[in-house]
Structure 1
Amino acid sequence: MDRVAVLGAGSWGTAFAKVLADSGTDVVLWARRPEVADAISKGRVNTDYLPDVTLPANLAATSDAEKALAGAQAVVLAVPSQTLRENLSGWRPWLPDGATLVSLAKGVELGTLKRMSEVIREVAGVPEDQVAVVSGPNLAKEIAAEQPTATVIACTDHDRAVRLQHACSNSYFRPYTNVDVVGCELGGACKNVIALACGMAAGMGFGDNTMASIITRGLAETARLGAALGADPLTFAGLAGLGDLVATCASPLSRNRSFGERLGRGDSLAQAQEAAHGQVAEGVKSCSSIRELAARIGVDMPITDGVHQVCHEGLDPRVLTAALLGRERKAERQ
């Protein structure tokens, strides 16, 4: 791939655009606000999201989506999951024929309960094998700082995944391929919800035993959902499952973990959102859609259900803790 368009100049979109550029790929980054595009073009820096990172010369920026998409062999969609449908609908007239459409978003759409690849296929009118997803330990600031990391590129067309893999491989970013799109997407969506729960526990002063328990049981309920939807169980033991879950649950750089901490300390949802300064904690909305999806197919997800109740029904996190510990005793693998 010689030219890639990245649509969305938030921290992760900008970091992934840098990864592509550092791998030798020419990149055009679309920013919604012209001033952000101008700052990148003139000063080589995204002052709003990654102010300490100098961006490569082969990374161009524009606020004109049609210009960004012209001639792109791959289009990376780097907008929040709940806005993907609306944004992609606006971009559809300019999508190049045959281009690989790549999702960086991690969530399940409210209302439709569709995964992001399903939303892309529906809106863009493309076949399943033209859509890829990126998932794994993707803390944007660490990647932008060129700290070593690995990730997963999932696509049902393995050859397409390999081409994208080559376009974003460099000395600090190692992508692996996978054909299990369902498992990779569910791992990426559910980990945000589990990270909210870990943040709540940290905010209440609980320690590592509690964190390890939430992470492990969170992985178990994610894997149950995946199995019911046809995912490969091994995916959840890999980078898009356990790897992404650990990074998001443990790191202070994780928006979901930090948001959960504020809730655990007693902040209201509105107060936590105000403190986030416009940064999106995807799990706050995805907990509701994942909960509904699980209920629809009869999968038990008690942590996800509890996070939804805290975020949207006013449940005190301390009451959630007692409720989870007081659940019916059972074998670990049930």
Structure 2
Amino acid sequence: MTISVIGAGSWGTALALLIARNGHQVLLWGHHPEHIANLGRDRCNKRYLPEAPFPETLQVTADLGEAVEQCELALVSVPSHAFRATLMAMHPAMPDSAGLAWATKGLEKTSGRLLSDVVTDIMGADRPAAVLSGPTFASEVAAGKPTAITVASRQTDMAAKTAALLHNKYFRAYTTSDIVGVQLGGATKNVLAIAAGMADGLGFGANARAALITRGLAELLRLGLAMGGRMETLMGLAGVGDLLLTCTDNQSRNRRFGLGLGQGLSREEVTAQIGQEIEGATAASIIYKLACEKGIEMPITEQVYRILNEGMTPAEAVDNLLLREPKPEMAQGMA
């Protein structure tokens, strides 16, 4: 197949490598011409994945029209704030028969809507569409280390087609029709990873981290189920699996962001240190607003929101969480 990967950051490059190694022709697009020129010259992404050379089946372009005009499937991996604009730019050149998949984890910043709703707005309800999410760090995928992911689509054949593009002996792709649960798991876990990082930055240790992840999972379940996601999805790779990964390993930008905040750095300082998009910082406001609108209790998410938007310190946020009234722990994280 001819596949376009839209977004030449670490995750987009890793996915392009994976698909190209699986024998498909891949065209990787990025919006910075200088960056793309470097990729073409170096035949690797020296900035993000310097140890992963490009196979011959992977080419690059800074021309978005060229990237999508002959593709059979376009896989979008851009930050959530750029998702709508990127799709709008792609749409005029994209063949009507081409499928669309995305690996962006987040919600639309301006509206709080699921990215699947944005896809329908721009590409139409009949466009085959799929989202992929799970516990996957780009560097490990690029290095060929084993992992597994969930591909969700309302069209069974689109889910199977997208999974087949990715699946190989070190990358296992499962399918589901639960497009809502997969998207909410991917967005919410980033906020909770910031909280886990802050707890470690404050020096609270393994006990606190485990408790925070467990109670964070309860929040993810409450929101996901209220929005129409399914329990098996939220307790699977795109939910608890991704939550565990991003809360416990410093390859996670969101966790490192929280670590910096917990160690006393300002939001601006830690963002500059990381030098990449921190999706959880954007998602915190969106998810907190959704929780308020639906009357869902998400105390960890609320404290992350208040730290990022109201000047609360991480230490004050911890006090707020610990001073909450004792209550029963209900089955399946519904308390």
Which TM class, normalised by the smaller chain length?
A: over 0.9
Q: 2:67 aligns to what?
A: 68
Deviation by residue 1:224-282 (Cα, 9 ceiling, x = unmatched): 111111111111111001110111111110000000000000111111111122x0110
Q: 2:292 aligns to what?
A: 295
Q: 1:126 aligns to what?
A: 125
Q: 2:314 aligns to what?
A: 317
Q: Following TM superposition, by how much is the alpha carbon of 1:42 offset from its aligned partner in structure 2, in angstroms?
A: 3.1
TM-score, with structure 1 as normaliser: 0.96
Alpha carbons 2:132, 2:149 under 8 Å: kept: yes
Deviation by residue 1:184-203 (Cα, 9 ceiling, x = unmatched): 10000000000000000110
Q: Which amino acid aligns with 2:310?
A: E
Q: Following TM superposition, by how much is the alpha carbon of 1:143 offset from its aligned partner in structure 2, in angstroms?
A: 0.9
How many residues in Structure 1 have an aligned counterpart in Structure 2? 331
Q: Following TM superposition, by how much is the alpha carbon of 1:105 offset from its aligned partner in structure 2, in angstroms?
A: 0.8
Q: 1:26 aligns to what?
A: 25
Q: 1:78 aligns to what?
A: 77
User: Does residue 266 of structure 1 match 2:259?
Assistant: no
Q: 1:232 aligns to what?
A: 230
Q: 1:206 aligns to what?
A: 204
Q: Following TM superposition, by how much is the alpha carbon of 1:43 offset from its aligned partner in structure 2, in angstroms?
A: 2.5
Q: 1:142 aligns to what?
A: 140
Q: 1:307 aligns to what?
A: 304
Q: Which amino acid aligns with 2:220?
A: T
- For the residue of structure 2 that corresponds to 1:49, the secondary structure is coil
Q: 1:246 aligns to what?
A: 244
- Distance, in Å, in 1 between the alignment partners of 2:85 and 2:37 is 25
Gaps of 5+ in 2: none
- Distance, in Å, in 1 between the alignment partners of 2:251 and 2:286 is 24
Q: Following TM superposition, by how much is the alpha carbon of 1:64 offset from its aligned partner in structure 2, in angstroms?
A: 0.7
Q: Following TM superposition, by how much is the alpha carbon of 1:34 offset from its aligned partner in structure 2, in angstroms?
A: 2.0
- Distance, in Å, in 2 between the alignment partners of 1:263 and 1:16 is 30
Q: 1:217 aligns to what?
A: 215
Q: 2:164 aligns to what?
A: 166
Alpha carbons 1:113, 1:289 under 8 Å: kept: yes
Alpha carbons 1:221, 1:301 under 8 Å: kept: yes
Q: Which amino acid aligns with 2:128?
A: Q
- Distance, in Å, in 2 between the alignment partners of 1:152 and 1:248 is 16
- Distance, in Å, in 2 between the alignment partners of 1:298 and 1:108 is 19
Q: Following TM superposition, by how much is the alpha carbon of 1:110 offset from its aligned partner in structure 2, in angstroms?
A: 2.1
- Distance, in Å, in 2 between the alignment partners of 1:52 and 1:209 is 36
Alpha carbons 1:11, 1:50 under 8 Å: kept: yes
Alpha carbons 1:22, 1:170 under 8 Å: kept: no
Alpha carbons 2:195, 2:300 under 8 Å: kept: yes
TM-score, with structure 2 as normaliser: 0.96
Percent of aligned positions that are identical:
42
Deviation by residue 1:180-227 (Cα, 9 ceiling, x = unmatched): 010010000000000000000110011111111111111111111111
